[in-house]
Amino acid sequence: MNILSVASEVYPLVKTGGLADVAGALPAALLPHGIRTRTLLPGYPAVLHKLKKPKAAGRIANLFGHPATVLAAEFDGLDLLVLDQPALYDRDGGPYLDPTGRDYPDNFRRFAALSLAAAEIAGDDVVPGWKPDIVHVHDWQAALTPVYMRFGSARNMPTVLTIHNIAFQGQFGASVFPELALPPEAFSMPFVEYYGDVGFLKGGLQMATAITTVSPSYAHEILTPEFGMGMEGLLASRAMDLTGIVNGIDVDTWNPETDPHIARHYGPTAIKQRAANRKALEDRFALDDSRGPIFCVISRLTWQKGMDLLAEVADDIVALGGKLIVLGSGDSALEGALMAAASRHRGRIGMVTGYDEPLSHLMQAGSDAILIPSRFEPCGLTQLYGLRYGCIPIVARTGGLTDTVIDANEAALSARVATGFQFHPVTADGLRLAIRRAMRAYGEPKVWARLQNQGMKSDVSWAKSAERYASLYSGLLAKG
């Protein structure tokens, strides 16, 4: 079976969030099921600079007024197709934002082009000698692919659309529609029209053969007004085609026994060796060497991620005898509040702004617990890294956090299956209570070690999830 995966970012080539991790890890996990994946992504400078000797695999003569080349390359085990169109992708900044942090004004065109190219690869002889059996697209940036396919030669090919975060929908003013190379009838309710605007994700949700999202709990949550972000009615009408499949992680990249980014390697039987990583963190964040637990946060600093709640409880963590380290960037007011907390508690709170992949590994390897107070979280990956590394997750009871962390209540502790701490409601008081629960457990070394070991035994790989995707693909082909 051949799959064309379409994504705007793919780790390790380009990454801004969990979408890249999924798009980068799933292809390898599907190989044991006889499924080969080619991944189409835009030819950003950061991508092209990393590829060695890419070959021209095809050409699109006119892609929104410019010719485009489809390059074929392999990188870190990924079979890639790269859409090389400098007019759209050769620019400074990131995948979505210019150097000043603003959306590129032509993002609608940049990602419509990605979708149109995917539809043409699926239906026409753009890449000679290769055709997919199924097209799997990710988030709004690729969501127009099933719409373009509906009006092209690949109209009968099955499509899967995965929602990684329904808060991001790709909604643009109606004025962009004439530039999308779609027939007039596509600007209507059954297709891309959305409250008078153009909705990329909305069009994909209408047209995709199957819809997945990244955890079973989130699949239920997005059917409600609280989490559906205005799409709950459309999703309810397609509930029979909606499946929640929890993400996995790349357990080779995230492996405390071999990780090149940490100070000391360890496994479940040598977990005491985490102490060397703790010492490295204390040095990196200028923390004192007091014995209390180190709580870490690796996150975008936004309201969705509950970072305002973190800022509110930072003083409490120190008062309870803990320490806090933060890696992230985002809302300037939240950055400022956390920096102020670090200034008030030098030696007890440390912060690094931005994102640093090696440092994130060290934080998982040396911190005692990771705080994830998200108001909504489709799946989340940092709690899975935490489980893998013996860094105990303290999570809000929402979305994929609910599905992947077993709360350390009395029953779970007695049964020796607990792996972390959940809290609800998602408020500052709820987070404080969870931190106090964790502090009590930390004061009982045998209980804490049991939580760590149980978490490290959790299967956070892609194995089970890849099996579910393979079953979904097979079912779509069986339906013809």
Task: Kindly state the tokens that stand for 367.
Answer: 């911190």
How many CB atoms sit inside 10 A of residue 257's CB?
Answer: 9
Cα angle: 409, vertex 413, 417; to 5 degrees? 105
Separation between Cα atoms, residue 75 and residue 79, nearest integer Å: 7
Structure tokens belonging to residue 365: 């390897």
Do the beta carbons of residue 160 and residue 137 sit within 8 Å? yes
How far is 274 from 390, CA to CA, in rounded Å? Answer: 9
Q: What tokens does 130 get?
A: 């290769």
Listed residue (276, 324, 294, 5) closest to 133, CA to CA? 5
Give CA–CA dist 174/249, Å, rounded.
39
**15 assigned ligand-binding residue:** yes
> Mutual orientation of helices 428-442 and 307-319 as an angle, nearest 10°?
40
Please return the burial class of 284, using the count of CB atoms within 10 Å of its CB with bins 0-12, 13-18 and 19+.
Answer: middle
Q: Which token pair is 263?
A: 């100070």
Whether the CB-CB separation of 32 and 26 falls below 8 Å is answered with no
Residue 208 tokens read as 């995709």
What is the C-alpha separation between 311 and 315, in angstroms, rounded? 8
Residue count (the chain): 480
> What is the amino acid identity at position 362?
L
Asked if 376 and 352 touch (Cβ cutoff 8 Å), the reply is no
- Distance, CA of 425 to chain centre: 24
* The residue type at 380: G
- Name residue 478's amino acid: A
Burial of 197: CB neighbours in 10 Å, binned 0-12, 13-18, 19+: middle
Vertex 387, ends 383 and 393: CA angle to 5°?
50
Q: In what order do the strands lie in the sheet with 171-172?
A: 171-172, 197-199, 193-194
> 329 burial class (0-12, 13-18, 19+ CB within 10 angstroms)?
middle
Pick out the residues of the known binding site for ADP-alpha-D-glucose.
15
Give the annotated binding-site residues: 15
